[in-house]
A and B are shown apart, each in its own frame.
Chain A
Amino acid sequence: MFESLTEKLENAIGKIKGYGKITEENISDAMREVRLALLEADVNYKVVKEFTSKVKEKALGEEVKKSLKPGDLFLKILKDELLDLLGSDKSELNLSGNPAVIMLVGLQGSGKTTTIGKLGNILRKKKSKKPLFIAGDVYRPAAIDQLKQLGKELNIEVYDEGKGNPVLIAQNGVNYAKENGYDLVLIDTAGRLHVDEELMNELKNINDAVKPNEIILVIDAMIGQDAINVINGFNDALPLTGTILTKMDGDTKGGVALSAKHLTGVPIKYIGTSEKLDGLTAFDPERMVSRILGNGDIMSIIEKAEEVIDEKEAMGTVKKIQAGKMDLEDFLSQLKQIKKLGPLENLIKLLPGARKMGLNNISIDPKQFARLEAIISSMTIKERKHPEIIKASRKQRIANGSGTSVQEVNKLLTQFEQMQKMMKMMKNGNFKMPF
């Protein structure tokens, strides 16, 4: 997300950098680039107009400080104004009440059901909630099956009445939650067009019946200029408390993120960042702006690592590395830790300057990790601790056991040997980084 927006904005900043000061002429040139970049990112055209004229005005106006170079000044103005668009506050979900009720609404195919699964998973983990899903999409074939499968995978109960009345289902579901000690209810609703009066009335009736804490509009981040009509349509019918932008892990520039809050006042709460059931991230305007401007988002990497990596185990490995004693057992545990971080491509993109280093389009095949894991898992504990004992017949057995070839086992062993040599050099202090 945002990569090409970043590139274009960097171009615009580059146009200003070469000059001694910002003038009407050079700023116009840069603003043209900014305008195109934002329009290509599907930022609402009214917002683009407002944004560009504000940036221009500021750049030419009194705020020009002599201490700042024109390029830096322009960057600072862009940053401030982007933050202004996104609203500088993080917006948390209101989970008060017993049970707290969250209803998800949106167009067909925006990702409501998947998001319900992710929200249940995340709120259970981070807020220690006991969630119940309510299957309120009685229209789309197999929508209930989809939610049930997610529930089964996550071990979260799903309340459903088959194809009944969605208003009653919601009501009964909330009562069921009260009686059975669930403190969080997530209601799935059928996708609908904001101009479909009948179905919008149905949502109003659900709202009246269960009075949710949060009514969240789920929006596909690939949406174009129609976004404003959709948000306004839902917001006119219902008291929306927030939005969740899905599919932000695509190559969409996600301009809706820049227009939604500004035009409608409805804050963004989460963004969908992968197909996995933990692929939902709290929306943070500052980090988003940092990413848009190509400055990376180290905080998100650290948080992700904190979430999934067992610190004790990691420290143990570090000590072993320092002592030059790491064996294949440790290597396996590291592989498992790395896997928990999710797709590595996603992490790499968050590195500052990733795009400039050409790392933004890198692809890593998760199957390669799986093969390494399979090979090590097929070794005995003794073999893992003392890989030097692995000779021809053991190699054949390991290859057979892991469904790989002897060549692959050899490759892993050679690589590991090199790693060990490197670690020994580090320990002896005569290791120099190659750069």
Chain B
Amino acid sequence: MIRVMGLFSKIKDVFKKEDKSVETYEKGLSKTRKSFVNKLANLSKEYDEINDNYFEELEELLINADIGVNTVMDFMDKLQKRVSKEKITSPSMLTEIIVDELFIIYVNDEILSNKINYNPNGPTVILFVGVNGVGKTTTIAKLASKFKKEGKKVLLVAADTFRAGAVEQLITWGEKIGCKVVSDTNTTDPASVVYQGLEKANKDKYDMVLIDTAGRLQNKVNLMKELEKINNVGDKIIPGAPHETFLVIDATTGQNGISQAKAFKEITNLTGIVLTKLDGTAKGGIVLAIKDEVGIPVRYIGLGEKEEDLQTFDIEKYIYGLFKDMM
């Protein structure tokens, strides 16, 4: 229990400081939190003692948050073992342990850093990949704006040569945030657009290059081959590129998120997840399963439509956001 309390006071400490980003987290996650946390709190009130029904309801609660089925099953096993070993009888005590165990699943004894892996010798290239409609282009625009505010010279590359209107969408964003966009309507080969973009980035000494790619379902072999080509072209022009590859996932995604992470990791050197649209009622719990099963951490989360609603991911804040009302 000492370890649990330690974690809790640590999390609470994080939030005692006046921190604007915490507010955004809380606001963005408020819809999410209401349903999830109320249910968890009710669960502790409803049950005087921990029994099979309690565990069953808890399991359903976690599954309802889209935390992967395997991850939930393992989690329940661990929790039941801990309950019998530590002779825990009251559900209210267990609530803290639940938070603790979820945290452990995510962190898994690793040191997780959210710093961008900057290229010290030239432009830093970030590749954005994902299935259709998850919000890649919007995420790129928000992140580009962030980098710009940090004083960086940012180039956008419109390598979604497939979807109707995709290039125009990025160009519109580029105008809005004041970033140059490389596009080429004469080719349908995205690798060639990336090539042009990276050459320009080198020549004009850009700090950051953000590459937009077409949404692709991970089981489409030809589209994944195309992505492989896009991925491989970078290193030829800027050594080490792409320095980061982000998989963008929609928070409403269910178990398929695991398959997405696995498939994109096979083709690219996936370095993180961007979890979008977390301002709805979806809980995005699948990221816990993705970290648990595929080992890819979340780097950013989208909590709203505005630029500043894209936040650096912080697991402590995320869990705090989910469980705030209980602490």
Residue of B nearest to A345 (CB): B221
Contact between B282 and A226, CB atoms less than 8 A apart: yes
Specify which of B63, B135, B176 is in contact with A108 (CB 8 Å cutoff): B135
- Given contacts A36-B69, A141-B173, whether A224 and B255 have CB atoms under 8 Å apart is yes
Q: How far is the CA of A142 from the CA of B212 in the complex (A)?
A: 15
Contact between A195 and B221, CB atoms less than 8 A apart: no
**A interface footprint on B116-140 (CB within 8 Å = 1, 0 otherwise):** 0000000000000001111100000
- Given contacts A36-B69, A146-B165, whether A251 and B259 have CB atoms under 8 Å apart is yes
Q: How far is the CA of A147 from the CA of B131 in the complex (A)?
A: 20
Asked if A56 lies at the interface with its beta carbon under 8 angstroms from chain B, I say no
Asked if B66 lies at the interface with its beta carbon under 8 angstroms from chain A, I say yes
Contact between B219 and A223, CB atoms less than 8 A apart: no
Contact between B168 and A110, CB atoms less than 8 A apart: no
- Secondary structure at the A interface, as helix, strand, loop or mixed, is loop
Contact between B133 and A225, CB atoms less than 8 A apart: no
Instruction: Give the residues in chain B near A222, CB-CB below 8 Å.
Output: 131, 250, 253-254, 256-257
**B interface footprint on A247-269 (CB within 8 Å = 1, 0 otherwise):** 10111110100000000000000
Residues 243-260 (chain B) with a chain A CB within 8 angstroms = 250-257, 259
**A interface footprint on B214-227 (CB within 8 Å = 1, 0 otherwise):** 00011111100000
- Given contacts A108-B277, A225-B66, whether A247 and B131 have CB atoms under 8 Å apart is yes
Contact between B164 and A145, CB atoms less than 8 A apart: yes
Instruction: Give the residues in chain A near B169, CB-CB below 8 Å.
Output: 140-143, 145-146
Asked if B281 lies at the interface with its beta carbon under 8 angstroms from chain A, I say yes
Asked if B172 lies at the interface with its beta carbon under 8 angstroms from chain A, I say yes
Residues 18-77 (chain B) with a chain A CB within 8 angstroms = 31, 35, 60, 63-66, 69, 73
Asked if B163 lies at the interface with its beta carbon under 8 angstroms from chain A, I say yes
Contact between B221 and A363, CB atoms less than 8 A apart: yes
Instruction: Give the residues in chain B near A226, CB-CB below 8 Å.
Output: 66, 251-252, 280-283
- Given contacts A110-B133, A141-B169, A142-B172, whether A149 and B283 have CB atoms under 8 Å apart is no
Nearest Cβ in chain A — how far from B187, in angstroms?
17
Asked if B144 lies at the interface with its beta carbon under 8 angstroms from chain A, I say no
Contact between B165 and A145, CB atoms less than 8 A apart: yes
Instruction: Give the residues in chain B near A109, CB-CB below 8 Å.
Output: 132-135, 250, 277
Residues 171-208 (chain B) with a chain A CB within 8 angstroms = 171-173, 176
Specify which of A150, A195, A250, A253 is in contact with B281 (CB 8 Å cutoff): A195
B: residues with CB less than 8 A from A are 31, 35, 60, 63-66, 69, 73, 131-135, 162-166, 168-169, 171-173, 176, 217-222, 250-257, 259, 277, 279-283, 286
A sample of 5 cross-chain residue pairs with beta-carbon separation below 8 angstroms, ordered by A number, consists of A45-B64, A108-B133, A109-B132, A223-B254, A249-B217
A: residues with CB less than 8 A from B are 36, 39-42, 45, 49, 107-111, 113, 140-150, 153, 193-195, 220, 222-227, 229-230, 233, 247, 249-253, 255, 275, 363, 365-367
- Given contacts A233-B281, A250-B217, 18 further A-B pairs with CB under 8 A are A36-B73, A42-B256, A109-B250, A111-B132, A147-B164, A194-B281, A195-B31, A195-B281, A220-B133, A222-B253, A225-B63, A225-B64, A225-B254, A226-B282, A226-B283, A230-B280, A252-B254, A363-B222
